[in-house]
Structure 1
Amino acid sequence: MWIVELAFNDEPERLAARAAHRQRLSALQSEGVVRMAGPFADDSGAMIVFDVADQPGLEQLMADDPYFTTPGVRVHQVRQWRPFLR
């Protein structure tokens, strides 16, 4: 699994792109690719947990979603995660 942490600022493009991004994440959750996702309580960013085998697969998912390059959205950190409880 992979954890993607996003950082946000107040660019209006971010809010305009958010609905389509959330629809995409919901579809990926239905496929078992996204395990959980959501903004931090202070809306300074968000975290998404992807269940994909490798980094190239993750990078392709992110490239297919324009939200990750929308003004106001910055990919702060990407980390591989190996949970022992599911």
Structure 2
Amino acid sequence: MWTIELRFTTDNAEHTAARLAARPAHRVALAALHADGRLHAAGPFADDSGALLILDVPTRTALDAVLAADPYFHLPAVQLTNIREWSPVVGPESR
């Protein structure tokens, strides 16, 4: 499993507008990942400064392909700040 942390930049109104315009299509992509079991959870932080995703894909290459397929992750207002492999010890996917 992988955790992905995003940060939303707000210093450019045009970039923020582009991010908000892309959000509905991004959420459709997230719903598809969830439906096929690759996305366990995703959502913005309470202060809307960024978001967290938990994905279950076998390799970093597979994760990179998932991220590359969603243009939201390539917007200037969306910065990938942290990508880490994660091994949960409690929960339905514990190893």
Do Structure 1 and Structure 2 share a fold, with TM-score over 0.5?
yes
- Bigger CA radius of gyration: 2
Equivalent position of 1:77 in the other structure:
82
Selected match of 2:43 from 24, 38, 50: 38
1:4 paired with 2:4, answer yes
Measure the CA separation in 1 of the matches of 2:41 and 2:34: 8
RMSD of Structure 2 on Structure 1 (CA) = 0.7
Partner of 1:26: 31
Matched length: 86
Deviations along 1:14-34, one digit per CA (max 9) or x if unpaired, are 101111001100111010000
Paired-residue identity, %: 47
Report the Cα distance in structure 2 between the residues aligned to 1:81 and 1:70, rounded to whole angstroms.
Answer: 25
> What letter is aligned with 2:29?
R
Normalised by the length of structure 2, the TM-score is: 0.88
1:76 to partner: Cα distance: 0.6
Divergent runs of 4+, >3 A:
none
